[in-house]
């Protein structure tokens, strides 16, 4: 067997006096894929950036060794290499694809210029030869109508298409190693499935070795041959992917495997049918005007949507980005105005001018726990804000007591009231957001992707908390998510949306057992299966 493409020995990364990556050793074999998995803060990106010489943080110190080998072109040590050496290696022998396709392309350059940049730098191709190669690459990554696309700008492409272009750029010089850092995290599930398929096909054709970083074991199972599980900068387990999923040795690996959302988990306990209808939405229609140089046009965000939610139950709303699911949440909370339709909460109109006492009966928890709390307010002040706005609680207790009670309700110690958001972890922040929403004493709680940006193990705990709160307080949930597995776990009924329209609306059990609409089926098929692909391939 030939030498590994990337051989990393005792890699350590320290920032200031604090060591963040503690002596990692791993190798990436030719044509193989190493999956690096870990939760946020585990040092997975830092490790790969340091190993490839891309780490550019003030005060960072990298020690150890990282050698990239590319057939006859010899081996190069990357740790401590001079910028000149690194420039020769980056883009030529190692290609990179990062998480956010919206920001990793230059908005002012055509795709052709962005793809030919590294070809002209490393391969000294003429402009014309490079353009020809760019066309081949766009064809290889499956971009429709590649000739036209060469002259297109990034904003004219969808997120998935942009990620395809990023892959084309990374592969332009036929690198021996492709580094992919969470390349599908920002994409919809169906797009993610396409990108996974694409990378595998390209790898097969070109024999590129891949390092794939992800927080999602499901995705890693689809691409990786070996898996390195990282926690706090240390490798807790490093084994073949099939062995790792079948027989995890380290408790942390077991925890990660158990916490990942899976289809088939039983849903929430059934609710009484005699609770009646709490929320009734009829013919909701939302259009946003878009003013451009060529005139005014309308985006039809929500198109004639009707549904009912029974008191005490959860309606899951599923759809990919742009399906209009968040717009529904914004209309119900007064952040956006509908063009037509009605919505009533226990018979009272909640659109248009709504009295404060009705408004507070609908509360919302947003997706991003980092930005949905004011960075200059302590957790206690944030939770007390709705209390002050509505002069709550009205039973004579002080707001302070109520804040302590709310913190206890979401399993946080009372002294957390004095902490600022940056002193809390992502999961704790989301708990504070939930406590703030509950301060309003709402009937309906809208959860807009509220657990989507949390690590899987923390997501599992927050979901448990939500189920408990629903049982204790008799809350009704509108659970908006893109992750079908999570929706199955939480919902009594499910509404599937595509481009502003409802494509399917059925009780959860029925919908998951027997999806009727082709789009629902496509969404379900796109979920990475529980068994790693390698296991199925080996089985034959």
Angle at 71 between CA 69 and CA 77, to 5 degrees: 20
Which 322-351 positions form the footprint of another protein (CB under 8 A)?
Answer: 333-335
Angle between helices 518-526 and 189-206 (to 10 degrees): 50
Among residues 113, 162, 215, 359, the one that binds another protein under rule CB under 8 A: 359
Q: Rounded CA gap, 520 and 350, in Å? A: 30
Which 445-504 positions form the footprint of another protein (CB under 8 A)?
Answer: 458, 461
Contact 8, 25 (CB under 8 A): yes
Q: How far is the CB of 537 from another protein (least distance, A)?
A: 36
Q: Is 28 in the site for another protein (CB under 8 A)?
A: no
Q: Is 517 in the site for another protein (CB under 8 A)?
A: no
Q: How far is the CB of 364 from another protein (least distance, A)?
A: 5
Q: Is 411 in the site for another protein (CB under 8 A)?
A: yes
Minimum CB distance to another protein smaller for 93 or for 231? 231
Q: How far is the CB of 531 from another protein (least distance, A)?
A: 28
Minimum CB distance to another protein smaller for 116 or for 382? 382
Angle between helices 426-439 and 399-409 (to 10 degrees): 130
Q: Is 353 in the site for another protein (CB under 8 A)?
A: no
Query: What 3-state class would DSSP assign to 462?
Result: helix
CA dihedral 69, 75, 80, 85 (to 10 degrees): -100
Minimum CB distance to another protein smaller for 128 or for 391? 391
Q: Which helix (H) or strand (E) holds 227?
A: strand 226-231
Q: Is 258 in the site for another protein (CB under 8 A)?
A: no
Kindly tell me the burial class for residue 151, based on how many C-beta atoms sit within 10 Å of its own C-beta (0-12, 13-18, 19 or more).
exposed
Query: What 3-state class would DSSP assign to 73?
Result: helix
Q: Rounded CA gap, 48 and 38, in Å? A: 13
Q: How far is the CB of 37 from another protein (least distance, A)?
A: 17
The residue among 478, 413, 400, 469 whose CA lies nearest residue 441 is 469
Q: How far is the CB of 59 from another protein (least distance, A)?
A: 14
Q: How far is the CB of 249 from another protein (least distance, A)?
A: 21
Among residues 137, 210, 305, 363, the one that binds another protein under rule CB under 8 A: 363
Contact 494, 482 (CB under 8 A): no
Q: Is 25 in the site for another protein (CB under 8 A)?
A: no
Minimum CB distance to another protein smaller for 136 or for 374? 374
Minimum CB distance to another protein smaller for 169 or for 363? 363
Q: Is 157 in the site for another protein (CB under 8 A)?
A: no
Q: Rounded CA gap, 325 and 523, in Å? A: 15
Q: Is 376 in the site for another protein (CB under 8 A)?
A: yes
**Which residues bind to another protein, rule: CB under 8 A?**
41, 333-335, 356, 359-360, 362-364, 366-368, 371-377, 382, 385-386, 388-390, 410-413, 418-420, 422-428, 431, 433, 436-437, 440, 458, 461
């Amino acid at each position: 067997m030939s030498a590994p493409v990337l051989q990393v020995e005792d890699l350590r990364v320290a920032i200031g006096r604090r060591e963040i990556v503690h002596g990692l050793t791993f190798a990436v074999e030719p044509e193989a894929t190493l999956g690096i998995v870990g939760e946020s803060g585990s040092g997975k990106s830092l490790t790969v950036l340091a190993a490839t010489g891309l780490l550019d943080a003030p005060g960072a110190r990298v020690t150890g060794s990282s050698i990239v080998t590319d057939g006859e072109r010899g081996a190069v040590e990357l740790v401590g290499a001079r910028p000149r050496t690194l420039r020769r290696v980056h883009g030529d022998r190692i290609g990179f694809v990062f998480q956010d396709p919206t920001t990793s392309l230059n908005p002012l350059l055509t795709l052709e210029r962005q793809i030919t940049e590294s070809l002209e730098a490393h391969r000294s191709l003429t402009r014309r030869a490079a353009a020809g190669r760019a066309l081949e690459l766009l064809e290889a990554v499956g971009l429709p109508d590649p000739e036209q696309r060469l002259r297109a700008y990034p904003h004219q492409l969808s997120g998935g298409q942009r990620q395809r272009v990023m892959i084309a750029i990374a592969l332009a010089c036929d690198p021996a190693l492709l580094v992919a850092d969470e390349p599908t995290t920002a994409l919809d599930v169906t797009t993610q499935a396409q990108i996974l398929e694409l990378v595998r096909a390209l790898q097969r054709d070109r024999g590129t070795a891949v390092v794939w970083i992800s927080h999602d074991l499901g995705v890693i199972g689809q691409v990786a041959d070996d898996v390195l599980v990282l926690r706090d900068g240390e490798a807790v387990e490093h084994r073949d992917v099939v062995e790792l999923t079948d027989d995890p040795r380290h408790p942390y690996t077991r925890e990660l495997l158990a916490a990942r959302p899976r289809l088939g988990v039983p849903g929430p306990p059934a609710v009484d049918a005699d609770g009646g209808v709490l929320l009734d939405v009829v013919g909701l229609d939302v259009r946003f005007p878009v003013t451009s140089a060529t005139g005014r046009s309308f985006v039809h965000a929500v198109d004639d949507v009707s549904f009912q939610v029974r008191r005490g139950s959860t309606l899951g709303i599923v759809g990919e980005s742009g399906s209009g699911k968040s717009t529904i949440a914004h209309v119900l909370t007064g952040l956006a105005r509908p063009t037509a339709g009605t919505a009533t909460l226990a018979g009272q109109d909640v659109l248009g001018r709504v009295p404060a006492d009705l408004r507070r009966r609908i509360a919302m928890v947003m997706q991003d726990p980092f930005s949905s709390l004011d960075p200059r307010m302590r957790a206690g002040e944030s939770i007390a804000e709705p209390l002050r706005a509505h002069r709550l609680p009205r039973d004579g207790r002080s707001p302070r007591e109520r804040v302590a009670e709310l913190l206890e309700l979401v399993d946080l110690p009372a002294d957390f009231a004095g902490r600022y958001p940056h002193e809390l972890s992502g999961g704790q922040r989301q708990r504070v957001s939930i406590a703030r929403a509950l301060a309003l004493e709402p009937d309906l709680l809208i959860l807009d992707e509220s657990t989507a940006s949390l690590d899987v193990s923390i997501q599992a705990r927050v979901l448990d908390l939500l189920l408990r709160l629903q049982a204790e307080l008799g809350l009704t949930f509108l659970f908006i998510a893109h992750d079908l597995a999570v929706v199955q776990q939480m919902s009594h009924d499910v509404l599937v949306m595509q481009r502003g329209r409802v494509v399917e609306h059925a009780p959860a059990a029925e919908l998951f057992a027997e999806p009727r609409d082709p789009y629902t089926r496509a969404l379900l098929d796109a979920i990475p299966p529980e068994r790693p692909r390698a296991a199925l391939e080996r089985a034959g």
